Amino acid sequence: MINKERYAFVFLAILAMLDQLFAYLFSVDFTYSSLSFVSHLCFCGCLLVVSHEKSLNRILYACLCGLCVGMFFTTDWFVKMILFGLFGWLIGFFKEMIDQNHWMHFAIVFLMMFVSDLLCFFGPKLLGLLTMSFVKWFIHVEALTLIFNGVAIFILIYIITVFTRYAMIKDIRYKRMEKLKLQNIRRK
């Protein structure tokens, strides 16, 4: 039998490391004279992984993921934990829509990623920590971020679907083997 939680944790850790690799290779231009993007692979992967969990597990897994990402990869661990937990909780309201098809799954995760970015922009803006205009931020940072992460969400959905099918096949084989063992024991 497959331990899905362990593989999900490893998967999200790899995505967090890829986020940091992209942040290192393609750092954000804070002069806003050129286009930049921010990778949200771990955030989107977390939403995709926890979307089929029960409510409390979904919130706890997402908060733990946000806490780990915030502590090990960024300096805003509390904000990450709250954002991941909030969107982990919110994705549960769309469970029936997510189960319809992959397009709805993509749209919901994409919109949640965009709303998360909006919260991260307007929070400092309202507190007076950011003086840049919304249009300038959207053109120089968010546009390329949406394009990159949109493609990444499709890839993540594919990877998670393949893994889920593999785990289901493995579980069915495991149950068959257990059934055969029980039948052999009964015959003796």
Tally Cβ neighbours within 10 Å of residue 67.
Answer: 17
Asked if 83 contacts 115 with a C-beta cutoff of 8 angstroms, the reply is no
| Rg of the chain, C-alpha, whole Å | 20
Asked if 11 contacts 52 with a C-beta cutoff of 8 angstroms, the reply is no
Rounded CA-CA distance 134/147 in Å is 18
What's the confidence (pLDDT) of residue 2? 56
Tokens of 32: 């806003």
Query: Which residue is associated with the tokens 């955030």?
Result: 43
User: pLDDT tens, 3-41?
Assistant: 678 888 899 999 999 999 998 998 877 777 788 888 999
Tokens of 118: 């909006």
Tokens of 100: 């319809």
Q: Is the pLDDT of residue 157 over 80?
A: yes
Rounded CA-CA distance 34/46 in Å is 30
What's the confidence (pLDDT) of residue 122? 93
